[in-house]
A and B are shown apart, each in its own frame.
Chain A
Amino acid sequence: MAERKTLANIHRRRCARHAQLRPLQLLILIAALLFPAAVRAADVALVPGGATWRYKDDGSDQGTAWRAAAFDDSGWLSGAAQLGYGDGDELTVVSYGPDPANKYVTTYFRRAFNVGDPAAFTALTLELLRDDGAVVYLNGNEVWRSNMPAGAVTAATLAAALVSGTAESTFVSTALDPALLVAGTNVLAVEIHQDSPGSSDLSFDLRLTATSDAPIVALTRAPYLQLGTPTGVHVRWRTNIATDSRVRYGSSAADLNLVADVPASTTEHEVVLSGLTPATRYYYSVGSTTETLAGGDAAHSFLTAPPPSATGPTRIWVLGDSGTANSDAVAVRNAYYAFAGSTPTNLWLMLGDNAYEAGSDADYQTAVFDMYPTMLEQSVLWPTIGNHDTAQSPNPPASLPYLAMFSLPTAGEAGGAPSGTEKYYSFDYANIHFVCLDSMTSDRSSNGAMLTWLRSDLESTTRKWVIAYWHHPPYSKGSHDSDVDTELTQMRTNALPILEDYGVDLVLSGHSHDYERSYLIDSHYGLSGTFISSMKKDGGSGRVNETGAYSKPTAGIAPHEGAVYAVAGSSGQIASGPLNHPAMFISLMNLGSLVLDVDGDRLDVKFLRENGVVADSFTIIKGPPPAPSALTATAATATSVDLQWTDTSFNEEGFRIERCTGTIATCDGNPAGYGLVVETAKNATTYTDATASGATTYSYRVRAFNGGGASTSGWSNTAAATTPQACDAPSISVQPQSTTIAPGNGTTLSITASGTAPLEYQWFRGVSGDLSSPVQTATFSTVNVAPAATTSYWVRVTNGCGSVNSATATVTVSACSYNVSPLSFSFGASGGFGSITITTSPSCNWSASFPAGDTWISLTSSATGSGNGAVSFSVAANGPAPRSSSITVAGTSVPISQAAAPPGTPVGVNARATGPAQVTITWSAVPGASSYEVERRAAGNAILTRIAATNSFVDNAVATGTSYIYLVRSLNGGGPSASSAPDLATTIMFTDDPLTAGKQVKTVHMTERRNAVNAVRALAGLAPATFTGTAARGTIVTVAQLNELRVALDAALSILGLPTGGYTAIGQGQPIRAVHFQEILNRVK
């Protein structure tokens, strides 16, 4: 709704500018008041440019009747000039028909206008904008044609020439005779002709100006609307010269067919229009009975208030402390105009300090009438008094400009109780009761006239909403402190208890030059420090998409359900303050105004900043929430029913769900059968009733509630569902068990489940829940499996009620095991063969190996195999040292040891007595022998063995005079060798007179020999030999005796296995020599 720069507006401003009340101009006005004759004549726009015309653009031939003043053009279209098409500058685009190449040649226009006294005019000027040609008729008579051929003109007549270029927007003019005018209604009729059917454009506008020498009446204050009701409104304006007052009005700007007059001559005009139709748009013009000064266009129109029962949308604009008349006020205004767009403002409020500094008439002209002319002429303003409106005086004069310029109810004319004063009043608009209080000049005491009236007024109202406003805010920590300032404190302590007791919804104030907006609060009448949390009826933001709208349970007015308090004193300026009142939800140091939208049970408030940003908003919703809709009920299982509905409300605290057992028809016929199921939280749209029984039909209904349940919506539709027969879903009592199997083996998995029969089983490979690998044909409670590798299995059990998955059972296939036997081998030095048996599963492979360097071992069978088998090997004969190795079969190491070969038989065994009781045996060392075993045989076959580490042994365990046989065996790891040849040793010590060669054998020699032989004979187990002869001294040893020795000895030696004979032959009679006895000695040693 910008201030349109139409010609009409420009003309109005030109008139208004004649008395622009800046100080200098104020002086001029004063001079004019003192010396009224100073104003002289001027032109009167009988038809201004940009006026609204009736038009006919259907290509019809209207003949001639249309030119007459009395022609009925009510069926024609209507639009404001400039009219036409094709140039882009038309305010009203008319039609040229369906074929752009063959446009309508003629378009017709008509306009009626009123002339009071034609005789007052000395000149009449017609100015015409035409493209291409035109013929003008005044009151049925042709008064002018422009760019048209002479002669008769029909609908087909083309214009004389093309109009193009600047001529398309240039007015051509002619003078007319003022006598052509008649007193009363005059009609201009104009036909515009194209120069060709293919013309690209059409343009039409017209100005008819009359000149008069009489003093010209001008508007010094444009029309503004006051005291609107469903059936009436006050139209006020001011002129420079006193005249009577006339308002023309009607349902069309081009047809203001109704008139309201006030005959008294005045400059302060006020005409009451009554008998109007509610919620109807009326167009109007203002002036006198002789001329129209303004109006007759779309801008001068208003919408009457709707009937009391109306609940439709109402838009209210609220300004506070807007009277600065500066760029800030302009910005706030323009922001609202842009915001509102084409949405009409049904009414607007001013919260005081409407015109700085002192609320003088001049201040108001500048700050209100010059600032908001468009709003003033289209929407009723309802102001309140601020301190600056009375120049700070609590006792202003009765001539206070505020009281003079506004028409406000005193007798309840607009609804409400009569107040008897314009300083405070009330009015109704649709379902809203507005209360305006005077916090500046009236008695603010509880039993004063104003608050006594307030009680009576609020008692009487039947509207749904109560919005109260006054200048001094009850709560503020802005540029004014409600804890300190008297007016603020008194309004809070005296007025609020009454307002809240009667259910006020919204309280608006200014005075502090900021924006502060409270929570939904109640019963806070003390200082700010006494505000406590319980005074918040709702401590949220009040925003629908945040904590939710403020909800008041009662649809109409109810006490102490909470109110929102807003300080909106920043419509013209901002001033600093702490902005920390605890009752406030938000406090802003921003310019702005309030936009209220009331629609039925909902009030939306926005704080619109000067830059177009909505810096705050909140919503109040009254009454029970609307009923939820589209309820559906679906039986999910035998014991549960899923409910779903549509949440249609913004202010519910929750939803109540009720259930009835039975069909919808049954339950609806017996509402008492419904019982509570649950109360959900707000914004819920689903619920599952898990308390149902199987095979049962249930009906459900839902409703929203708030006010702690005290306020409820209607019921939703009823929805029913029938649960299926109950059954027990499958459950598993024994899960399949994991197990381990040997490779190549199988196992059986099983499960125990219960539930309503029949139960179906399906086994799967994988972890529980993985359906990708079913075990085909595994559809029983047991399954035989023989996996080659470790595999998991699970089973799903299903019945008509549901299904259940088992746990995962893992069949682990173990690794191959081998049994090897024997686990060791020992071989003698000669070697041999061995065999190792392998016992294992048939599929288990094995192999055998031994260290490569151990060549004395050879496999004689295959080194690999599978399943049971055997590995054979041979061990070669060993050498002199023991050795060992191992053969690894199926991973088992089987040690193999081999003894060394035994050593050779000792040779050269020589046993000799080396003492009376000592025999020393020596022999040749045997390679590879680690030791020797000396065996001594004594008489009686007593055997004694001793170990000799080296190749000699001294036997000290002999008896004197005894013969022994000695054998020697060599020893090593291979065992003992064979025994050596025996050797005899006798411990008879022979004289130390040894019988040497050449030496005579003595008796001793013989005795010794004989004893030795008998020792030998004893060893051999023979009786001692008896020897002949003695061996007395000096006896010659005979050969016989020698032979006796020899025979006796040999006999023993033979038994002993010792060599015999081999004696040196000696015949009889030969001398016995030493050698002969040495031989004996040698044998018996």
Chain B
Amino acid sequence: MRRTLILTLLSLAVSAPLLAHQGLHEQIAAVTERIRHEPRNGALYLRRAELYRQHHQWRLAARDYERAHRYDPSLEPVDLGKGTMLLERGRAAEALFPLRRYVRAEPSDARGHLALGRAYAALGRTPEAVDELTLAVRYTPDPDPDLILERARVLAAADRRDEALRTLDEVLATRGPLIALQLAAIDLEVQSRDYDAALRRIDEAEASSPRKESWLARRGEILLRAGRPMEARAAYQSALDAIAALPPERRSTRAMLELQAKLRRALEDD
């Protein structure tokens, strides 16, 4: 890790003054010019490969990854780049090899595990995907909700909803009521038919939320799915009442109008 950090810093130190403050094309051109003077600098090829990849110039990116590896086999990020590129191109199976090699070389780099996990997920190899995403989360000091959700989705796809829920709850417990995680957790509980748990979660969220109507509407949906139509209707009605109690400017958002319409339809259907 330290070596990687140092090498990364070195590469940045070399490249930083060389590259003007330009867009991708200009940066590619600047690196190309530098390569002309240093045709065996693997770090430069790696840099350009990444730029090509960002620009979806796969062939050129692949070529530069190869050159980077050829001129500096110790540049582990080449494998990460290659694997990521192959994954982006939908060639998940081909991405496995370089990504595995990368995670072996840099086991604490969450990006490698994340890319490898996505590759496994794309190949339907869910357990392995879960493992890699779990490592990605572990090696990310403060994993983004996106990463947490991605892992939870993969876990759920692997029919490991309980584990997904635990993951979500762990994060919610430490980082507070992150709405995306709350909603994902509720969805998992509903999928698991653990309606009571979902309802409890909704009640907790609704109690602490300044806005109630969406929670009440979701509560109604869950109650309906739980075979509790009367309570569902009551929840729908409470949601409508909550909307009605909003100030006009809050009530008239498209989201609220759509929710109102949806609630009314739900009450009519029932």
Contact = CB atoms under 8 A, between A and B. Distances in A.
A510 to B, nearest CB: 12
A460 B24 contact: no
A573 B22 CA distance: 9
Contacts of A462: 210
Contacts of A448: 146, 180
B37 interface: no
Contact of B50 (A30, A356, A392, A450): A392
A394 B180 CA distance: 20
Contacts of A463: none
Contacts of A394: 54
Contact of A357 (B16, B142, B178, B255): B16
Contacts, number: 148
Contact of B146 (A398, A443, A556, A573): A443
Interface in A558-588: 558-560, 572-573, 575
A362 B145 contact: no
B49 to A, nearest CB: 12
Interface residues on B, range: 35 or more
A395 B50 contact: no
A734 interface: no
Interface in A380-431: 388, 391-395, 397-399, 410-412, 417-423
B139 A420 contact: no
Contacts of A395: 84, 111, 114-115
B54 A393 contact: yes
A903 interface: no
A456 interface: yes
A442 B147 CA distance: 10
Contact of B24 (A22, A353, A392, A456): A392
Interface in A266-302: none
B227 interface: no
B41 interface: no
A502 B211 CA distance: 13
Interface in A426-460: 442-443, 448-450, 452-453, 455-456, 459-460
B270 interface: no
B12 A360 contact: yes
- Interface SS of chain A: loop
A572 B210 CA distance: 41
B142 A418 contact: no
A39 interface: no
A496 to B, nearest CB: 12
A392 B111 CA distance: 15
Nearest to A366: B16
Contacts of B111: 395, 397
A358 B144 contact: no
A572 B21 contact: yes
Interface in A757-795: none
Interface stretch (B68-76, B91-99, B246-254): B246-254
Interface string A444-488: 000011101101100110100000000000000001100000000
B110 A420 contact: no
Given A357-B15, A419-B178, A559-B253, A397 B21 contact: no
A395 B9 CA distance: 18
Interface string B203-214: 000000111001
Given A362-B13, A411-B175, A556-B249, A397 B54 contact: no
A393 B27 CA distance: 14
A865 to B, nearest CB: 103
B259 to A, nearest CB: 11
B19 interface: yes
A357 B21 contact: yes
Contacts of A559: 249, 252-254
Contacts of B51: 392
Interface residues of A, number: 62
A411 B178 CA distance: 8
A358 B249 contact: no
A501 interface: yes
Contacts of B181: 420, 449
A957 to B, nearest CB: 139
Nearest to B205: A456
Contacts of B209: 456, 460
Contact of A420 (B10, B50, B178, B247): B178
A723 interface: no
A640 interface: no
A933 B140 CA distance: 164
A456 B179 contact: yes
A652 interface: no
A690 interface: no
Contacts of B143: 398
A30 B142 contact: no
A30 B6 contact: yes
B21 A410 contact: no
Contacts of A573: 21
Nearest to A25: B13
B13 A398 contact: no
Contacts of B140: 398
A363 interface: yes
Residue picked from A419, A420, A480, most chain B C-beta under 10 Å = A420
Contacts of A497: 254
Interface in A323-368: 323-324, 353, 356-358, 360, 362-363
A455 B115 CA distance: 29
A398 to B, nearest CB: 5
Given A323-B21, A448-B146, A501-B255, A26 B178 contact: no
B54 A27 contact: no
Contacts of B146: 442-443, 448-450
A982 interface: no
A358 B16 contact: yes
B224 interface: no
B244 interface: no
A503 interface: yes
Nearest to A403: B142
Given A362-B13, A449-B146, A501 B254 contact: yes
Contact of A452 (B10, B110, B180): B180
Nearest to B180: A449
A557 interface: yes
A453 B144 contact: no
A940 interface: no
Interface string B19-44: 11101100100000000000000000
A88 interface: no
Contact of B253 (A388, A421, A443, A501): A501
Given A392-B24, A410-B142, A423-B144, A357 B19 contact: yes
A397 B110 contact: yes
A853 interface: no
A23 interface: yes
Contacts of A30: 6, 9-10, 13
Contacts of A353: 21
The 3 closest A-B pairs by CB, nearest first: A558-B249, A449-B180, A449-B145
22 contacts: A23-B13, A23-B17, A323-B21, A357-B21, A358-B12, A360-B16, A362-B12, A395-B115, A398-B142, A411-B176, A420-B175, A420-B178, A443-B146, A456-B179, A456-B211, A459-B211, A460-B209, A460-B210, A502-B253, A503-B249, A557-B249, A559-B254
Given A27-B13, A558-B249, 16 more contacts: A23-B16, A30-B10, A356-B19, A357-B15, A362-B12, A394-B54, A412-B176, A420-B180, A421-B145, A423-B144, A443-B146, A455-B179, A459-B211, A460-B210, A501-B254, A503-B249
Interface of A: 22-23, 26-27, 30, 321, 323-324, 353, 356-358, 360, 362-363, 388, 391-395, 397-399, 410-412, 417-423, 442-443, 448-450, 452-453, 455-456, 459-460, 462, 479-480, 497-498, 501-503, 554, 556-560, 572-573, 575
Interface of B: 5-6, 9-10, 12-17, 19-21, 23-24, 27, 50-51, 54, 84, 109-111, 114-115, 139-146, 148-149, 171, 175-181, 183, 209-211, 214, 247-250, 252-255
